[in-house]
Amino acid sequence: MNKDGFLRYGLLGVAAVFLLSAFYPQREDGPYMRRAAAASLTAPEIVIPTLVNPVSPLAFGAKCDGVTDDSAAFQAAVDTSDVKVPAGTCVIDATVEITVSNRHLECSPGTTLTQTGKAGGRIFNVFSRTGDVLTGDSIVNCNFVGTNTAAPQYFDDDARHYNIPVQTQDRVSSFMLIGNTFSRFFGQSMFQTYGRVDGGSGDVIAYNVFKSCGYYGPVFVAHTNGYIGHNILVDCALGVENDNATQLSGGNLIEYNTISAIHGYGAPDMKSAAMLTGGVAGGADYSTNVVRYNSVRGTSDADGVHGAGRPSHIYQRAPQGAAQYWHNNCTAGCVVID
C-alpha cells in the first residue's frame, strides 16, 4: 500500500474506530473529572511526511531475514537519505542514531523491526551530536517487537530499564510517530522524549498501538506543546513524567486514547495495571497540560507480575500543579486518584 493509501485507508480507518470516544458522557460533576479553565489547545493537523529520495536498507547490506543483524545497514541508510523499509523481519541489535532534521523512516506493510541479541538499549535514538535543535523527523507504519513476555516484566536495576525502542533526546521538536505498533519491550517506555531541561516541543504521537509495556507506552519528559492522541494501549501507562522541577512541561494535549489492562504493566510504580496521567512526579508544574476524552478500564489478571486485581488509574494528583482533566472515562476497575 502506498503512502496515500495508508492516509486514506489506514490513518482514517483507525480514526473511525475512535469516533465513538467523542460521545463519552459529558457530565460536569462526578469523581472522574477535574474542573479547570479551558486551555487554548487544539489538535494538530496530522499529515504523514512525504519521503524524499528514499533509500532501502537492503541497498546497504540489510537482509531483513529475522536472523542477520541489520543495524549497520539501517545506520548507513538513515545517514544517507529518507528510508523506506521493505517487508521482512529486520533485526536491529545496535542503536541506530538519527542526527539530522527532517529525516523520515517509513515501513512497508509486513515489516517488523525487532531485537534478538540483547534486551537492553534503544532501536532508534534521535538527537543532535552538536547540541543543535532538530526538527521534523518521523517514524511511520512500523511494527516494533521486543523480547519481553506478553504479561510484561520490568527491571529497574539493569540495562533492560533502557530497552526503549524510540527516544528523542534533548532539543528535538516536531517529531512524528504515526501508525506504528509496539509490543513487548522491557524499558521504562516504548517512546519517550528526554532532556535535562529542554526535551523539545511539538511532537505528535498518534494512531499507534502499544502493548505489553514495561511501564509507559508513550511519555513526554521535559517536553512542551506536544500531542498524544488516538492511540490504543494494553498493559501500559501513558502521559507526562518529569524527573524534577527544572525540566520543562506545559501545553501538552492528551486526547482520545484507549487504555486497558489485561495482565497489567510490569513496573510496580503507581500500583497500577494501566495508567493515564498529565503529570505527577518530580515536583513539576503540569497545570497547562490538558487530558481529555480518554478511556481507561480494567484490572490485572493472575498472569500479571503483580497478581490479580490491581486497578487501572487516571492519576490526576500533582502537588505543584495538576494537569487539567476533562471528560475522561474511567470504568471496569479503573480508579481516579484526585
Write the pLDDT tens digit of every residue in 78-104.
999 999 999 999 999 999 999 999 999
CB 266 within 8 A of CB 236: no
Amino acid (1-letter code) at residue 119: A
Q: What is the pTM of this model?
A: 0.89
Q: Which residues of 40-59 are buried (b: 16+ CB within 10 A; e: fewer)?
A: ebeebebebbebeebbebbe
CB 279 within 8 A of CB 323: yes
CB 156 within 8 A of CB 267: yes
- Give me 210's grid cell: 502499544
The answer on pLDDT for 29 being more than 80 is no
The answer on pLDDT for 36 being more than 90 is no
User: In this structure, what DSSP letter does residue 163 have?
Assistant: -
Phi first, then psi: what are they for 17, rounded to 5°?
-60, -30
Residue with cell 536495576: 157
The answer on pLDDT for 42 being more than 90 is no
Ranges of each domain in the chain: 21-36+112-337
Summarize the confidence of residues 39-57 as an average pLDDT: 90
Which residues sit opposite 90 in a β-bridge? Answer: 113
The answer on pLDDT for 24 being more than 50 is no
For residue 41, what pLDDT band results from cuts at 50, 70 and 90? confident
Amino acid (1-letter code) at residue 200: G
Which residues sit opposite 312 in a β-bridge? Answer: 334
Angle among Cα 238, 74, 233 to the nearest 5 degrees reads 15
Residue with cell 542514531: 97
Per residue in 145-169, pLDDT (tens digit) is 999 999 999 999 889 999 999 999 9
User: In this structure, what DSSP letter does residue 270 have?
Assistant: G
Please report the pLDDT score of residue 34 as a whole number. Answer: 33
Phi-psi region of 76 (alpha: psi -120 to 50; beta: other; left: phi over 0): alpha
Please report the pLDDT score of residue 118 as a whole number. Answer: 65
pLDDT, greater one: 12 or 226 = 226
Cα(99)–Cα(168) distance, integer angstroms = 10
